[in-house]
Amino acid sequence: WENNPKLTEFCFSMIGRLDIKLSKSNIVNCAGGVLTELEYTNKIHSREQSVNSMITNQRSPWVNRIYSFTHSVSALPPT
């Protein structure tokens, strides 16, 4: 903040007087919460992918062809 006068001026003009140290800690806390949520979401997606790959690997090649075909076919055309 101190190294970027334009950003500081913008914050003061848009929000008013701020306690810089408090705003920095709030930004860090918000960023920490977002990162934690992203890490949790990524873990869930990686688990889903591993389960899907396990299921796919357990099927016979013939079933895999039918499965991939049914998933590649789009929904019914609009009426």
List Cβ neighbours of 52 (8 Å cut-off, separation of 6 or more): none
pLDDT tens, per residue, the chain with 79 residues? 456 666 666 655 655 554 555 555 555 555 555 556 666 666 666 666 666 666 556 656 666 666 665 555 555 555 5
Alpha-carbon distance 55 to 66, whole Å?
Answer: 14
Read off the DSSP letter of residue 2: T
SS3 9: helix
pLDDT at position 1: 46
List the one residue out of 36, 7, 34, 37 whose CA is nearest residue 23: 7
What is the value of pTM for the model shown?
A: 0.23
